[in-house]
A and B are shown apart, each in its own frame.
Chain A
Amino acid sequence: MFASSKRLQSTGEITPFAGPPSRERLTVVQRGSSLELDHVSVVFRRAGEDVTAVRDVSLTVAPGEFVALLGPSGCGKSTLLNVLAGFRRPDMGAVRLNGKPHLGPTPLCGVIFQKYALFPWMTVLGNVAFGPRRLRIANPKAVARDMLDMVGLSSVANAWPSTLSGGMQQRVAIARALATRPSALMMDEPFGALDAQTRGLMQAELLKIWMQLRPTLVFVTHDIDEAIFLADRVVVMRTLPGAIGAEFEIALPRPRDPAVMETAQFLNYRRAIAGIIRSEALKVFCP
C-alpha cells in the first residue's frame, strides 16, 4: 500500500506533453524512409564456436510505419536492431535504407538505447545539440531547445543528465535522437528500465511524437501489451536461432488511448501472441 502510493508520487515529475512551440522548424523533419532486411543472418563467435544469433530474416518496413520486434530474451531482436542501425554488418544478406545499401551508422537513422546512453559530460542541452552541431545545422541550440520543449523538459536544459530520473533521461535521449531530423528511429527496449507507471506515460508520449513527426519506427520490446498498444505491425521472433515467427497487423484505431487495452480486439491479439511467445521462451529456458 505504502509502496504503491510512493510510486504514484514519483510519476508526478513527468510533465504533460506540451506540444511544439515552433512548428516551422519541426516540420523540416524528413518523412519516414523505408528499411529492408534481405535474407539477413548474423553469426557470433563465442569461445571459438560460431553461434547463429539470427538466421535468414527478411523484413520490410514501409516509410512511416511503426513496427514492434517482439520476443523473449535471446531471440536476436537487439541484434537485428543493431543491424538496422548500422552498428553491425550482417554476415549474410543485405540491409537497405530507402532502397540503398545501409553500410554504417547514419544520422538518417536515429537510435534510442535501453540505458539512455546520454553523454554524462554534457548538459542536457549539450546532449541534444550534439547531433545538430555535427551536421552543421543552423542554430543547433535553438533546435535543441525546440526538441526539449517537445518532450516537456526545457526546464532542465542546463542540468547534468545524472541528476535526472530514468524517465527524464530517456525523454532527453528521444529529444537528442530526433534533433538530427532522422527519417527512421530505432528503439532498443527503451522503456525497459522504467517503473510501470512511468512506462505507461512514456508510451503515450512516444505515440504523440510519432503521430506528429511520422518517422519510420522500429521498436524492440519483450512486453506484449507495449508492442500491441504502440505498433502498426507486431513481428514476433522465434528463438534458437533468432528468426521471424509470425506477424500481426494491429488494426486498432489511432490515436490510441490506454483504454484500448481493455477491448476484446486487443485481448484477442494478446492471446494469440502470448501463445507463441510462451513456447519460444520455453525453448530458451530449457533447451
Chain B
Amino acid sequence: MRPAVVVTGISGNLGRTLAKLLHKSERIIGIDRRPFVGKPKDVEMHQLDLRKKKAEDVFRKNEISAVIHMGIMHDPRMSEEEHHSFNVVGTTRLLEYCAKHGVKKVVVLSSANVYGPSPDNSNFLTEDAPLMAASRFSGVRDLIEVDMLAHGFFWRHPDINTVILRPVHIVGPSIKNAPSNYLRLRYPWMLAGFDPIVQLIHVEDAARALVQALKPTLKGVYNVVGPGEVPLSSALRELGRTPIPVPHPLARPMLGMLFKYRLANFPPPELDHIQFLCNVDGSRWRNEVGWKPRYSMRDTIRSVIGE
C-alpha cells in the first residue's frame, strides 16, 4: 500500500474540509476521539485518543509519509487540566511516534493567537515575535506550549521537515470557534471607542494552506494570512450586525459574570481581541509557497452565516 498522511483532529470542521481536499490525491488516515460525520470512503479512520498506546499502532502498522497535527482542543468550558493534558501530552506523544517511526514531514497547526493581542504590539508581528498570549490569558498556555513543543522538535530533528503554521482567525459556515461565534451574534459587544483591525481566513483557505505545507522541502514557522485586514466594525457592518458599545472597564467584570453563569461562551480575556491588535505579517509564507487565498475579504466575512 502507498504511504499515508496521518491527520489528527480530522473530525473537526477544519479536519473534514482538509480531508475532502486531500483524499483524492493522498491516502489519509484520520485520528480523532470524535466520529467523522460524512467521511469519504477512502479515508481510514481511527476513533481514539492520541495519549493512548493504541495510537502508536497506526504508526507501527502503516508507512507514514507525513503527519498533519490539528488535534488541539480549544473549548473554554473544558477543565484546564483536561485541556492541558489532551493538548500537551497528546502533542508530545504524537511527535515521539513521528521521530520513532521515521516520518519525514510533520505539519503542526498553531495559531496567530499565540502572540496575543496587546497595546504594545507592532501592527504586524513576524514569526520571531515573542509568544505573549499567556501573559494576559493563562487559559491559552497549552496552545503556546504546543507551538513550543513543535519548535523544539523542529530543532532536535533537522532531518524531519517540520512546519508550524500560525494562521489568523479561522472562520467558516459551521466553525464554532470564538471569532466565528462572535461574528454570528445579532448584537455583538464592541468595546466603546475601540475598533481594532482584524485578520480573518476562510476555513477552506486554511485547509489549503495545510495541504501546501506538505510540500516535501518546506520547513519552518509561518504566519498564514487570509485576504488581509479589516476594521472590526466594518466586518460587523458587512454582516448587518448591531454592535453594542460597552465601556471597557465594565465589560470585563460583566462578561466574567455572564461566563460564570453560562450566559455567554466567551471568557473575559477574549475581550483583548476586540480591543487590541494581534495582526501578523504573512509575507514569509506568501513568498515561499506563492500563497494566495481563494476567498475575498467579503466572502470570508460572510462565510460565517453560511454564504
Does B associate with A? no
B residues near A (Cβ < 8 Å) are none
